Amino acid sequence: MRAASGAYGRRMTTHASLAALFPAAFVSAGRVTFAEAVRDHQDEVYGVALRILGDRDAAREAASAAFLKAYRSWERYDQTRPVRHWLLRIAANEAISIGRSRTRERARTTNVDDAGGVPDPAQTPDQALVAREERERVRAAVAGLPELYRVPVVLRYFSELSLEEIAAVTGRPTATVGVQLLRARALLRASLDVRS
Contact predicate 8/43, CB 8 Å: no
Q: For the chain, list the strands marked E by DSSP.
A: none
pLDDT of 30 higher than 70: no
Region of 77 on the Ramachandran plot (φ > 0 left; ψ -120 to 50 alpha; else beta): beta
- Global pTM reads 0.58
Question: How high is the mean pLDDT of the chain?
Answer: 78
Q: Name all domains of the chain by residue range, CATH numbers in brackets.
A: 1-108 (1.10.1740.10), 123-196 (1.10.10.10)
pLDDT tens digits, one per residue of 121-144: 677 888 878 888 888 888 888 888
pLDDT at 46: 95
Which is higher by pLDDT, 16 or 131? 131
